[in-house]
Structures are given as C-alpha cells and as structure tokens.
Amino acid sequence: MQLSYFKKQFQRKRGQVNKYLDQCLPSAGTFPGPIYQAMRYSLLAGGKRFRPILTILTAELLGGRMSEAMPVAAALEMIHTYSLIHDDLPVMDNDDFRRGRPTNHKVFGEAMAILAGDALLTMAFQLITDKVKNKNLAARLVNEIAKAAGPDGMVGGQVLDIFKDIKSKGSLGKIMSLSPGVKWSPDIHRGEKYVREIHQRKTAALIVAAVRVGALTAGARPTQLNNLTRYAQNLGLAFQVVDDLLDLKGSQGQLGKTPHKDTRVGKLTYQAVLGENESWKQSRDLITAAKKSLDPFRSRAEMLKALADYVLQRGN
C-alpha cells in the first residue's frame, strides 16, 4: 500500500473520529458547564486518534461497519485522554504542554483536571453501554477495556513508572514494607525487563484492547482474535519504544509536548536501558513481527500493516 494512500485514509478516519467525539460531549454551556468545558478542552485537542482508528480498521478488516465500532473507538480515546490529563499533573509527570497546548490543569486548575479525567473515564463506560446495541457484546467490551485500563494494565504501568519518584520522596520503603510479596532491589527499575513491563502495561495494554474490541465488535472468531492480539502486542510495544526515541530528537512543535522531558526527569526509557541503536533495532523487529501476525488475513490487512509501518516511520 502506498504511504500517501494510507495517510489520506488515516486523516479521513481521524476527521470522522473527531466529529463523533465532538458530538459525544454536551456543549460547553451545559450545566455543570465547567466540567464539560474541561473535558472538551483535552478530548478535542487534536490528538493522533491512533487508538480509535486502530479499533475501526480492525473492525473493517473483519467486515464490520465503522458506525458500530465508532462508540467503542471513542470510548478508548476518552480513556487515553483521561490518562494523559492525570499523567500531566504536577504530582505525576508535571507537564505544561500536551498536543501543542497548555495542559488541562494549566488552564482549569488541578482540581478540575483531576475531575475532568475522572469524568472522561466514567463516561467511556457509559458511552459503550449506551450505544452498543448488542448488550452482551457491550458487557464484554467494558470488561476488556476495564482490564486493560485498570491496576493490572495502564494504571499499573503508571505506578511502575513513578516508582523512582516515590523512592526519591523517601516513602517507597514504607510502601514496600507493606507489600512483602514484591521482590524489591535497588536496581529493579534499571533493567530491560522492567522497562518492557512498564511499556506493556502503560501503553501496549490499551492498544491491544483497541484492536481486540474492534475485532469483537465485528464478531471475530477465536483464531482471528488471537492473530490480531499478537499484532497489537507487538505494535503497542513498538509504539512506545518509538515514542521514547521521538522524545530524544523531537522539537516541541513536532511532539506537541515538552521534548527531552523523559531524559531530563530521568524517566526509564528503552534507549536509557538499551541505547538508541538497539532500541531502533527492537522496534523494527517488533513491527516485522506485528505484520507477520496479519498474514492469514492477506490483502484485507493492508491498512493495519501500513499502520504498523507508519508507527516506525514517525521516528524517521
């Protein structure tokens, strides 16, 4: 597939996702107004819409309709956005810019930013159970997404990510002494295994969920679901490795967020553990593996394969 054709399709879907998200939230004037205003500010701030487009493309690969996948796709973007709002808070990653604009708490204050995140997370589950007509399916989708977003998934990844900060605040020992089952070592957060664990939970889990719910919406058979899940696991990990690498070389205009932030705050990234060259090699290998999982779908998987190539291309 030509990259230019893929990009055109991607932008078209992005426009459709944006339009749908805009309609999901009441206008800013709705009572209690400030909460919807704060939610809209971050949700409609022009992200890539990677996760919802992944859901839609997966559903379409299996013959599903975009209109049926769209509410689930939108719910995923709400959850992704909530996680960004909370991650950007001063007590977390303390970021001032996101998607090229001041972060939510910079505009609305920290209290409202916390609540806007809470509201987006809650509304995601409302949206799915409102809009998905097959209620059996709706329950399954909620379950998949909640598992991916919860303490074993995305939230758990963020916890592992801030471990070092907890340590620097001196209270980690207190927490660890309350958690006798965790094998703690001073180097626990220095190894490749640990950084992969973070990435898998913090980023890949929701990307895997995006693919799986797209597949489930279109009535995937078990073997199809397995192949698509393997695609998403490799894609999701590659996505974060490339994201880390972009932080190294990007400008604020390109990234929409503060560059070199990861390095400056001593964040645990792939390149910090493996070096830049090995990180590129691993991301290429992951993308190759992702595409290979799609072979059984033959030409129908061209868009998802192009999407995988695109993830790698972002870094070049």
Enumerate residues 6+ apart whose C-beta is below 8 A from 132: 68, 71, 72, 138, 141, 217
CB of 155 to its own copies, least distance (A): 5
CA distance 37 to 10: 27
Burial of 302 (0-12, 13-18, 19+ CB in 10 A): middle
In whole angstroms, the minimum distance from the beta carbon of 157 to its own copies comes to 8
CB nearer to its own copies: pick between 126 and 229? 126
CB of residue 131 to its own copies, shortest distance in Å: 10
User: Minimum distance between the CB of residue 118 and its own copies, rounded to whole angstroms?
Assistant: 5
Is the preceding omega at residue 32 within 30 degrees of 0, hence cis?
yes
Minimum CB distance to its own copies smaller for 204 or for 242: 204
Give the N- to C-terminal CA distance of the chain in Å, as an integer: 19
Residue closer to its own copies by CB (options 1, 91) is 91
Q: Which is nearer to its own copies, 115 or 294 (CB)?
A: 115
User: Where are the extended beta strands (E) located within the chain?
Assistant: 97-98, 101-102
Nearer to its own copies by Cβ, of 33 and 100: the residue is 33
Instruction: List helix spans (H) across 88-221.
Output: 104-108, 110-131, 135-149, 154-168, 172-178, 192-199, 205-217
Q: Alpha-carbon distance 7 to 25, whole Å?
A: 27
- Closest approach, Cβ 28 to its own copies, in A, equals 5
CB of 100 or CB of 150, closer to its own copies? 150
How far apart are the C-alpha atoms of 60 and 152, rounded to whole Å? 29
Q: Give the shortest CB-124-to-its own copies separation in angstroms.
A: 8
